[in-house]
């Protein structure tokens, strides 16, 4: 795993967490929309599950997954902060923090740091090359 791949893990994990949060919101909407239909027809005795109960069960499962992912993201960011702080150049640290911890775009970073985008790319390459990151499973 390269340093850049290691640093990109947090962004991908954050995206997955946001996706699951959207799924929970969608399931909450579905659960609140559940209504019963009254007909004169007899019910099927084998049909014992309800849409609302299914939605609630999925919500609980997704929330447990989200909590686990958030714990993993916090641990990952803590390790990333240690690796970034080990870089001697504070300008490199700032760039790496803005990109990989705050998830800012290159353009936002260039504005924040007062550089043009090409110079930010150049600094980024130097910063990543100076980074010592923890070895993880491949």
Distance from the Cα of residue 74 to its chain's centroid: 10
- Give the range of the structural domain holding residue 89, as residue numbers without chain letter: 3-34+47-130
Distance of alpha carbon 7 from alpha carbon 50, whole angstroms: 43
pLDDT averaged over consecutive 10-residue blocks of the chain (138 residues)?
90 94 86 63 58 80 94 95 94 97 96 97 96 57
The reported pLDDT for the residue numbered 137 is 40
Helix (H, G, I), strand (E, B) or coil at 48: coil
In a domain, residue 136? The reply is no
Q: What is the CA radius of gyration of the chain?
A: 23
In a domain, residue 64? The reply is yes
The reported pLDDT for the residue numbered 98 is 97
What is the number of domains present in the chain? 1
The reported pLDDT for the residue numbered 124 is 97
In a domain, residue 41? The reply is no
In a domain, residue 82? The reply is yes
In a domain, residue 135? The reply is no
In a domain, residue 56? The reply is yes
In a domain, residue 42? The reply is no
Residue 96 near residue 84, CB atoms below 8 Å: yes
Residue 8 near residue 14, CB atoms below 8 Å: no
Distance of alpha carbon 66 from alpha carbon 60, whole angstroms: 10
In a domain, residue 69? The reply is yes
The reported pLDDT for the residue numbered 138 is 37
């Amino acid at each position: 795993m390269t340093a850049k791949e290691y640093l990109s893990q947090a962004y991908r994990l954050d995206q997955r967490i946001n996706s699951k949060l959207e799924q929970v919101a969608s399931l909450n909407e579905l659960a609140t929309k559940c209504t019963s239909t009254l007909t004169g027809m007899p019910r099927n005795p084998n049909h014992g599950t309800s849409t609302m109960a299914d939605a609630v069960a999925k919500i609980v499962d997704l929330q447990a997954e989200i909590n686990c992912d958030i714990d993993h993201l916090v641990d990952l960011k803590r390790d990333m902060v240690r690796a970034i702080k080990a870089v001697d150049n504070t300008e490199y640290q700032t760039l790496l923090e803005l990109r990989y911890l705050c998830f800012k775009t290159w353009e936002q970073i260039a504005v924040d740091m007062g550089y043009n985008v090409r110079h930010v790319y150049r600094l980024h390459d130097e910063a990543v090359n100076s980074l010592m990151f923890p070895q993880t499973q491949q």
